[in-house]
Structure 1
Amino acid sequence: MGMLHVGRITRIDLPDAVLAHVHAVLIAKLRVHEPVLVGWISPDGRRDEVLVHPSMSLVVRYDADDAVGLDRAWLERLMRSANGVGGLQLTPDMIDAMRALGAAGAGAPAGAVEPAS
Protein backbone atom coordinates (compact mmCIF):
# COMPACT_ATOMS: atom_id res chain seq x y z
CA MET A 1 0.00 0.00 0.00
CA GLY A 2 1.51 3.29 -1.11
CA MET A 3 0.81 6.74 0.25
CA LEU A 4 -0.01 10.08 -1.32
CA HIS A 5 0.64 13.03 0.98
CA VAL A 6 -1.05 16.24 -0.15
CA GLY A 7 0.71 19.20 1.44
CA ARG A 8 0.29 19.04 5.18
CA ILE A 9 -3.43 18.43 4.79
CA THR A 10 -3.97 14.74 4.27
CA ARG A 11 -2.61 11.31 3.43
CA ILE A 12 -4.34 8.88 1.09
CA ASP A 13 -3.38 5.19 1.25
CA LEU A 14 -3.71 3.45 -2.12
CA PRO A 15 -2.41 0.24 -3.68
CA ASP A 16 0.74 0.93 -5.71
CA ALA A 17 -0.95 0.25 -9.08
CA VAL A 18 -3.71 2.75 -8.26
CA LEU A 19 -1.27 5.27 -6.79
CA ALA A 20 0.89 5.21 -9.93
CA HIS A 21 -2.10 6.11 -12.11
CA VAL A 22 -3.39 8.80 -9.74
CA HIS A 23 0.14 10.23 -9.46
CA ALA A 24 0.44 10.45 -13.26
CA VAL A 25 -2.91 12.24 -13.57
CA LEU A 26 -2.12 14.71 -10.78
CA ILE A 27 1.28 15.53 -12.29
CA ALA A 28 -0.34 16.09 -15.71
CA LYS A 29 -2.86 18.50 -14.19
CA LEU A 30 -0.37 20.33 -11.99
CA ARG A 31 2.15 20.76 -14.81
CA VAL A 32 -0.36 23.01 -16.58
CA HIS A 33 -1.16 24.77 -13.31
CA GLU A 34 -4.66 23.32 -12.98
CA PRO A 35 -6.00 22.44 -9.54
CA VAL A 36 -7.86 19.15 -9.25
CA LEU A 37 -10.42 17.94 -6.75
CA VAL A 38 -9.62 14.45 -5.40
CA GLY A 39 -12.20 12.44 -3.47
CA TRP A 40 -11.99 9.06 -1.74
CA ILE A 41 -13.57 6.97 0.98
CA SER A 42 -11.53 7.12 4.19
CA PRO A 43 -10.88 3.99 6.29
CA ASP A 44 -13.64 5.05 8.70
CA GLY A 45 -16.15 5.05 5.82
CA ARG A 46 -16.50 8.80 5.35
CA ARG A 47 -16.11 10.51 2.00
CA ASP A 48 -13.17 12.90 1.97
CA GLU A 49 -12.14 15.43 -0.66
CA VAL A 50 -9.18 17.72 -1.09
CA LEU A 51 -8.56 20.38 -3.72
CA VAL A 52 -5.00 19.80 -4.89
CA HIS A 53 -3.49 23.08 -6.04
CA PRO A 54 -0.23 23.58 -7.98
CA SER A 55 1.27 25.45 -5.03
CA MET A 56 0.87 22.40 -2.75
CA SER A 57 3.55 19.81 -2.28
CA LEU A 58 2.82 16.20 -3.18
CA VAL A 59 4.81 13.36 -1.67
CA VAL A 60 4.28 9.93 -3.16
CA ARG A 61 5.68 6.89 -1.40
CA TYR A 62 5.32 3.50 -3.06
CA ASP A 63 5.34 0.29 -1.06
CA ALA A 64 7.40 -1.65 -3.62
CA ASP A 65 10.64 -0.60 -5.28
CA ASP A 66 9.50 -1.80 -8.71
CA ALA A 67 8.11 0.72 -11.16
CA VAL A 68 4.45 0.15 -11.99
CA GLY A 69 3.34 0.00 -15.62
CA LEU A 70 0.54 2.39 -16.51
CA ASP A 71 -2.55 1.42 -18.47
CA ARG A 72 -3.52 4.00 -21.07
CA ALA A 73 -7.26 3.26 -20.79
CA TRP A 74 -7.21 3.83 -17.02
CA LEU A 75 -5.15 7.01 -17.41
CA GLU A 76 -7.71 8.35 -19.87
CA ARG A 77 -10.61 7.37 -17.60
CA LEU A 78 -9.00 9.04 -14.58
CA MET A 79 -8.12 12.16 -16.59
CA ARG A 80 -11.75 12.48 -17.75
CA SER A 81 -12.83 12.20 -14.14
CA ALA A 82 -10.26 14.79 -13.04
CA ASN A 83 -11.47 17.18 -15.74
CA GLY A 84 -15.12 16.79 -14.73
CA VAL A 85 -17.09 18.90 -12.30
CA GLY A 86 -16.86 16.25 -9.54
CA GLY A 87 -13.09 15.89 -9.87
CA LEU A 88 -11.05 12.71 -9.53
CA GLN A 89 -13.26 10.44 -7.45
CA LEU A 90 -11.48 7.32 -6.19
CA THR A 91 -14.43 5.04 -5.54
CA PRO A 92 -13.94 1.63 -3.92
CA ASP A 93 -15.07 -0.06 -7.18
CA MET A 94 -12.52 1.90 -9.20
CA ILE A 95 -9.74 1.11 -6.73
CA ASP A 96 -10.62 -2.60 -6.78
CA ALA A 97 -10.62 -2.70 -10.59
CA MET A 98 -7.28 -0.92 -10.77
CA ARG A 99 -5.84 -3.13 -8.01
CA ALA A 100 -6.80 -6.16 -10.12
CA LEU A 101 -5.03 -4.57 -13.08
CA GLY A 102 -1.88 -4.24 -10.97
CA ALA A 103 -2.13 -7.83 -9.73
CA ALA A 104 -2.37 -9.07 -13.30
CA GLY A 105 0.42 -6.73 -14.33
CA ALA A 106 3.32 -9.19 -14.49
CA GLY A 107 2.79 -9.07 -18.26
CA ALA A 108 2.04 -5.62 -19.61
CA PRO A 109 -1.65 -5.28 -20.56
CA ALA A 110 -2.72 -4.04 -23.96
CA GLY A 111 -2.41 -0.29 -23.99
CA ALA A 112 0.26 -0.28 -21.30
CA VAL A 113 2.54 2.69 -20.99
CA GLU A 114 6.05 2.13 -19.70
CA PRO A 115 6.79 3.83 -16.38
CA ALA A 116 9.04 6.87 -16.53
CA SER A 117 12.59 6.27 -15.41
Structure 2
Amino acid sequence: MGTLYYGDSGTPIGIEDRALAHLKFAITTKLRRGESFTLSWKHPDDQPRGRSTLWVHPTIPLRFVFDEPETPELSREWVEDLMRSANSTGGILLVEEHVDVEPEPDLPPVIAA
Protein backbone atom coordinates (compact mmCIF):
# COMPACT_ATOMS: atom_id res chain seq x y z
CA MET A 1 0.00 0.00 0.00
CA GLY A 2 1.52 3.29 -1.12
CA THR A 3 0.87 6.68 0.40
CA LEU A 4 0.08 10.08 -1.07
CA TYR A 5 0.96 13.12 1.07
CA TYR A 6 -0.62 16.37 -0.04
CA GLY A 7 0.20 19.81 1.31
CA ASP A 8 0.87 20.19 5.00
CA SER A 9 -2.00 17.91 5.92
CA GLY A 10 -0.96 15.32 8.46
CA THR A 11 -3.42 12.87 6.93
CA PRO A 12 -1.75 10.39 4.56
CA ILE A 13 -3.86 8.93 1.77
CA GLY A 14 -3.34 5.19 1.30
CA ILE A 15 -3.46 4.02 -2.32
CA GLU A 16 -2.35 0.64 -3.66
CA ASP A 17 1.16 0.91 -5.19
CA ARG A 18 0.15 0.04 -8.75
CA ALA A 19 -2.72 2.56 -8.73
CA LEU A 20 -0.45 5.18 -7.16
CA ALA A 21 2.16 4.70 -9.91
CA HIS A 22 -0.47 5.36 -12.58
CA LEU A 23 -1.88 8.28 -10.65
CA LYS A 24 1.62 9.75 -10.26
CA PHE A 25 2.05 9.71 -14.03
CA ALA A 26 -1.26 11.52 -14.62
CA ILE A 27 -0.75 14.06 -11.82
CA THR A 28 2.83 14.95 -12.71
CA THR A 29 1.85 15.38 -16.37
CA LYS A 30 -0.83 17.92 -15.39
CA LEU A 31 1.41 19.72 -12.87
CA ARG A 32 4.29 19.93 -15.37
CA ARG A 33 1.91 21.90 -17.58
CA GLY A 34 1.11 24.22 -14.66
CA GLU A 35 -2.51 23.00 -14.56
CA SER A 36 -4.68 22.78 -11.45
CA PHE A 37 -7.38 20.10 -11.18
CA THR A 38 -9.33 17.95 -8.76
CA LEU A 39 -8.53 14.39 -7.76
CA SER A 40 -11.43 12.25 -6.54
CA TRP A 41 -11.76 8.68 -5.28
CA LYS A 42 -14.24 6.44 -3.50
CA HIS A 43 -13.28 5.38 0.00
CA PRO A 44 -12.06 1.79 0.28
CA ASP A 45 -14.15 -0.77 2.15
CA ASP A 46 -12.01 -0.47 5.31
CA GLN A 47 -12.87 3.25 5.67
CA PRO A 48 -16.14 5.05 6.39
CA ARG A 49 -18.42 5.05 3.35
CA GLY A 50 -18.08 7.98 0.96
CA ARG A 51 -15.69 9.72 -1.39
CA SER A 52 -13.04 12.41 -1.20
CA THR A 53 -11.79 15.16 -3.51
CA LEU A 54 -8.57 17.20 -3.41
CA TRP A 55 -7.85 20.42 -5.27
CA VAL A 56 -4.39 19.81 -6.74
CA HIS A 57 -2.32 22.91 -7.51
CA PRO A 58 1.30 23.17 -8.73
CA THR A 59 2.35 25.24 -5.68
CA ILE A 60 1.16 22.72 -3.09
CA PRO A 61 3.74 20.11 -1.99
CA LEU A 62 2.98 16.55 -3.06
CA ARG A 63 4.83 13.35 -2.19
CA PHE A 64 4.33 9.79 -3.43
CA VAL A 65 5.64 6.99 -1.20
CA PHE A 66 5.65 3.42 -2.50
CA ASP A 67 6.00 0.25 -0.44
CA GLU A 68 7.48 -1.70 -3.35
CA PRO A 69 11.00 -0.67 -4.42
CA GLU A 70 10.42 -1.61 -8.09
CA THR A 71 8.35 0.54 -10.43
CA PRO A 72 5.47 -1.46 -11.94
CA GLU A 73 4.96 -1.58 -15.68
CA LEU A 74 2.30 0.98 -16.53
CA SER A 75 -0.86 0.11 -18.43
CA ARG A 76 -1.32 2.46 -21.39
CA GLU A 77 -5.11 2.00 -21.20
CA TRP A 78 -5.27 2.88 -17.50
CA VAL A 79 -3.05 5.95 -17.99
CA GLU A 80 -5.27 7.05 -20.88
CA ASP A 81 -8.40 6.62 -18.70
CA LEU A 82 -6.84 8.76 -15.96
CA MET A 83 -5.64 11.42 -18.42
CA ARG A 84 -9.07 11.58 -20.08
CA SER A 85 -10.66 12.21 -16.71
CA ALA A 86 -7.90 14.71 -15.82
CA ASN A 87 -8.83 16.79 -18.86
CA SER A 88 -12.56 16.77 -18.01
CA THR A 89 -14.37 19.31 -15.85
CA GLY A 90 -14.61 16.69 -13.09
CA GLY A 91 -10.84 16.24 -12.78
CA ILE A 92 -9.01 12.98 -12.22
CA LEU A 93 -11.25 10.20 -11.01
CA LEU A 94 -9.20 7.34 -9.59
CA VAL A 95 -10.78 4.33 -11.25
CA GLU A 96 -9.75 0.72 -11.07
CA GLU A 97 -7.62 -0.80 -13.79
CA HIS A 98 -9.48 -2.56 -16.58
CA VAL A 99 -7.84 -5.94 -17.01
CA ASP A 100 -8.41 -7.70 -20.30
CA VAL A 101 -9.09 -11.35 -19.68
CA GLU A 102 -8.50 -13.71 -22.54
CA PRO A 103 -11.72 -15.60 -23.29
CA GLU A 104 -11.68 -19.30 -22.58
CA PRO A 105 -11.23 -21.34 -25.76
CA ASP A 106 -14.33 -23.21 -26.86
CA LEU A 107 -14.13 -26.69 -25.46
CA PRO A 108 -15.90 -29.64 -27.00
CA PRO A 109 -19.02 -30.72 -25.10
CA VAL A 110 -18.56 -33.37 -22.46
CA ILE A 111 -20.50 -36.55 -23.31
CA ALA A 112 -21.60 -38.56 -20.29
CA ALA A 113 -20.82 -42.24 -20.53
Q: Give 1:77 shift.
A: 1.0
RMSD: 1.7
Matches within 5 A, 1:40-51: 40-42=41-43, 43-51=47-55
After superposition, the C-alpha distances for 1:51-94 in whole angstroms (9 at most, x for unaligned) are 1000011110001111111111111110000110111112xxx3
One of 46, 69, 73 as aligned partner of 2:73? 69
Tell me, in whole angstroms, the C-alpha distance in 2 between the residues paired with 1:39 and 1:76.
Answer: 16
The answer for unaligned runs of 5 or more in structure 1 is: 102-117
Matches within 5 A, 1:24-103: 24-42=25-43, 43-90=47-94, 94-95=95-96, 97=97
**Which protein is richer in strand relative to its size?**
1
Please give the TM-score of this superposition, normalised by the length of structure 1. Answer: 0.74
Tell me, in whole angstroms, the C-alpha distance in 2 between the residues paired with 1:72 and 1:89.
Answer: 16
Q: Give 1:12 shift.
A: 2.0
Matched positions, count? 96
Please give the TM-score of this superposition, normalised by the length of structure 2. Answer: 0.77
Tell me, in whole angstroms, the C-alpha distance in 2 between the residues paired with 1:83 and 1:11.
Answer: 25
Identical-residue share of aligned pairs (%): 35
